[in-house]
Amino acid sequence: MSDLTRRHLLKLGSTLLAGAFTPLNVSAKTSEINWGKLGRLDYTKAKATPTICFACTNHCGVIGWEQDGIVRKIEGNPLDPNSQGNICSKAQGMISYTYYPERILYPLRRVGKRGEGKWKRITWDEAYDELAAKLRPLRENGTPEEFVFHYGRDKTKGVTKHFTNAFGTPHRLNRRSICSSNRRAPLMSFYGRDFEWETQDLENTKYCVNFGGNPYEAYQGGLFMVHRLQRARVEKGAKLVTFEVRPSNTASKSDEFHTLMPGTDGAVAGAMIHTILKENLQDEKFWNRWSNYSLEDLRKQVKDYTPEWAEQKSGVKASDIKRIAIEFAKAAPACCTMSNRGSAKHYNGMQADRLIRTLDVLVGNVGKPGGYCLSSLRGWSGHYGQEGLPKLKLPEPKASSPKPWGLGEGFNETAFKKLPKEIQDRVNNFPDKWRKKYFGELATPSEYPLSWHWYSMRVGQLVYPYIQEGRQKVSVYMSFTLGASFGYPEANVVREVLQDEKLIPFHVAIDIGYGEQSALADMILPEATSLERWDYHSTNNYGLIPYTGVRQPLVKPQGESKTMPQMFRELAHKIGGGMEKHFTYKDDESFYKDWYKNLPMEWEEFKRRGIWQDATREKDYELYERPLTEAELKDASVPKGEGELVQKGGKVIGIVKDGKPVRGFPTPNRKINVFDPIFEEAAKAVGLPLTDGNASSAPVFHDVPEHVNLADDHYIFSTFKWNVHTQGRSGHWKYNAEIIHTNPVFMHPDTGKALGVKEGDSVELSVFRPHGHTYRAKEEGIMGSFQNHVRFLKGMHPKVVMCSHHVGHFEHGIVGKSDTKESLPKAAKTPSLVDQDLKGGVWWSKKNGGIGGGVHINDALPINPAPLIGGQNWYDNVCKIEKV
């Protein structure tokens, strides 16, 4: 309380006596900073500290300048080999959310009805005591699975998993299905479990074909990619070809931009494969050496995928498809593909990306200079530590195995029999190898087995409907930096479940600010921001030499906010019962210092630089061809036959090529699995008809069900991300919200003419339930509606309308909150939150003559998981449009 002024103390005391407390006027420090009177940064007094940006998933190395206890400026760290000293506007958002005047700085307990917005301040001891009293019996009574931990973005390097494992719950849930699981699955199927992301060698490429990726605007790794790709284009004449449904930043800056029908990227890729084979431009030597699928079978697979057929599907001219395929193949191996949400976030997106991945294998660019590369940090580091980073170890005893579920032989029959009969029946029909992996219905939903076959790609959008359906009893639900009640599809269902105290008796939200998720909690725990905490950081490097960086605090956490590792450490000791022995480190810095103890650099020097990399080692080209070392071959069984597997202790570590043991790919057969029987096997296990294209073990194109025979008065409605925002979590960042604060419905002028609307008119979009073999697909009719104004954009596909989904908040403070009446859910009851710097509102608000704070659209978007993998099909929505 030392930073609170006497005025704030008096105000706080009177509020507490009244029995209700609105949390957002507590911080004197954040609300009383007058940024206009701080003056220029004095570099003779300011302190520079390297850290890692946390404004988006790029996690760029940055340097923060602190003066008089306030972080004043963020700039790029030139030692970061990925960002190379560059940053974007989102980096300044870290200052915004650290000094957010409505930030939560103290533990809060609900005193009114859930969602009413009435709170009182409590101590950390009170918070821990209450939470431990609710958690401890679950562990002691053998029902730890009733504790559900659900996070939005976790960069604690295993601390949260360590906690849930020590507690014994399998329900550590993420949001990966919302984001990227449809495109991660093909990568892991082709190249191995740990290859969930690619690393194109863009700086040396000659030709890049982009299917729905958008690195110039919003893309994981986009900032790293753009600078390298631009250098290749300007200095080396590289060509960028983009297939997209709208003129995105990337499409607009491409050498060629071809508008295509949504969900047909796979058709174009299939036709390119057909053309390359017909023109005999494939790299037959590479294909036969590393692919597990014969060229003869591939020819049969794509024999009908002609450019003319693809033109009918996609709208892209057959002559262009053929020409691009030939140019791409002739540029090999210095060529690569790029794909992302545009290709993958469809019912057929997983197979579309498998066809796109096949293009790279066919021309032999995998792992080659200028080609489609795979960093050793992803995949090879686990199998071949010498090729990745120094082995970094968790400085704690290994957490106990989760129970009652267990893994593999730890499968618990007794606990399994407690499940609802329909779930038992589904799982009992699985082959043993599926059933033994069963790990809790929320964590590993039985209908979506490929969501947990390679990697924990939880089907997050189904968590709340499954709880509502009674598939999992929940006693304590903990959300960590999660915005599901705003940003998930059918977000209204999320709110319904969170408000129902019979379904979720106790909800504790851990977050920085007050948002839609925390508004429906019983307790709010204030987290430190990225400028106030420690984290481990490593990601794949587009320069193809692994590196690591450390996030470190520039200032102390404000108020009584704490880091997640500190919370879990202290909570584990409160719960007791043996949990405390897994959390023995004294503070966060000790934890991460121990983690990096094998780094060949002194800790203080690492902190000073913020980045470590062995820049002298060779780049990660053709890692699959590198011979196994003598140390790796010690006690290994090396067969003499060509293509046979090298084993050590029952584990495959390589493959014999040209009579020598080399590493190959970290797949079970050490090859690239263009053909993978797991798709058909999974389909049979869950009863998906083999006629559904998602069941095909070979890459195949199949139509998006609701796009077939699309009515003339129906349109495909898609979403997108702005380059200055981080989905729905940045609506309250003042600097970024001033740049983008609304989300009009974009459409082609010809579409507007057909609808009889003019630019600026208001329209109502009504979105239909999806078709196909997906959740609630058999329910016909309209899922939901919203109203918004129209903007025309030439270059869009005439059957597509688009709208960003990050604005229109109703519980996010004065900057993020929408004042567009029709955008607010009827059940929302927002407390009076006052930003002391903006008592008069923001200039774009309607009461000040502006356009308003945008429209919340996510309630109208249906839950639509792709079969088998469960990734949300954001871009399949079909709607009708009426002028208001």
Distance CA 610, CA 596 (A): 12
CATH superfamily of 200-373: Dimethylsulfoxide Reductase, domain 2 (3.40.228.10)
Select 3-98's CATH number: 2.30.30.90, 2.60.120.200, 3.40.605.10, 2.20.25.90: 2.20.25.90
Q: What mean pLDDT do residues 123-149 have? A: 94
Q: Angle between the 349-363 and 265-278 helix axes, to the nearest 10 degrees? A: 30
Would you place residue 759 in the very low, low, confident or very high pLDDT band (cuts 50, 70, 90)?
very high
Q: Quote the CA–CA distance of 566 and 501 in Å, as a whole number.
A: 28
CA 196 from centroid of its chain's CA atoms: 11
Task: Check residue 9 and give its pLDDT.
Answer: 31
Strand ranges (E), 352-400? 372-373
Report which listed range, 20-29, 368-377, 630-639, is most confident.
630-639
Distant-in-sequence, close-in-space partners of 69: CB < 8 Å, separation ≥ 6: 555
pLDDT at 429: 62
Percent of the chain with pLDDT over 90: 63
Tell me, which fold does domain 705-817+853-883 have in CATH?
Barwin-like endoglucanases (2.40.40)
Provide the pLDDT for residue 290. Answer: 98
Q: Which residue has the higher pLDDT, 358 or 827?
A: 358
* Distance, CA of 97 to CA of 333 (rounded, Å): 45
- Determine the pLDDT at residue 25: 41
Q: Indicate the range of 120-124, 443-447, 757-761 predicted with least confidence.
A: 443-447
**403 pLDDT above the threshold of 50:** no
CA-closest candidate to residue 281, choices 367, 364, 371:
364
Our CA dihedral for 730, 731, 734, 736, rounded to 10 degrees, sits at 60
Question: From CA 576, how far away is CA 389, in angstroms rounded?
Answer: 35
Reported confidence tier of residue 6, pLDDT bands at 50, 70, 90: very low
H helices within 18-149, ranges in order?
28-31, 93-98, 124-140
Mean pLDDT of 322-335: 98
- Report pLDDT digits (tens) over 34-88: 776 778 899 999 999 999 999 888 899 999 999 999 999 999 999 999 999 999 8
9-38 tens-digit pLDDT: 333 333 333 334 444 444 445 556 777 677
Is pLDDT of 827 > 60?
Answer: no
In this predicted structure, the answer to whether residue 387 has a pLDDT above a threshold of 80 is no
- Structure confidence by residue, pLDDT tens digits, 262-296: 999 999 999 999 999 999 999 999 999 999 999 99
Of 446, 427, 423, nearest in space to 435 by CA = 427
Per-residue pLDDT, averaged over 837-843, amounts to 77
Confidence (pLDDT) at 408? 31
> Cα angle at 480 between 478 and 486, to 5 degrees?
100
Using a 10 angstrom Cβ sphere, with 0-12 exposed, 13-18 middle and 19 or more buried, the burial of residue 161 is middle
Indicate the range of 44-53, 201-210, 536-545, 777-786 predicted with least confidence: 536-545
* Banded pLDDT at 1 (limits 50, 70, 90): very low
Residue predicted with more confidence, 443 or 688:
688
**Tens digits of residue pLDDT in 444-496:** 888 888 888 887 788 999 999 999 999 889 999 999 999 999 999 999 999 99
Q: What is the Cα–Cα distance from 797 to 100, expressed in whole angstroms?
A: 40
The tens digit of pLDDT for each residue in 421-440 reads: 655 665 566 554 544 444 67
Q: What is the mean pLDDT of residues 669-680?
A: 95
Residue 155 in this model has a pLDDT that exceeds 90: no
Quick one: pLDDT at residue 729?
Answer: 83
pLDDT value for 255: 98
Find the mean pLDDT for residues 835-846. Answer: 77
Domain positions in the chain are 3-98, 200-373, 627-694, 705-817+853-883
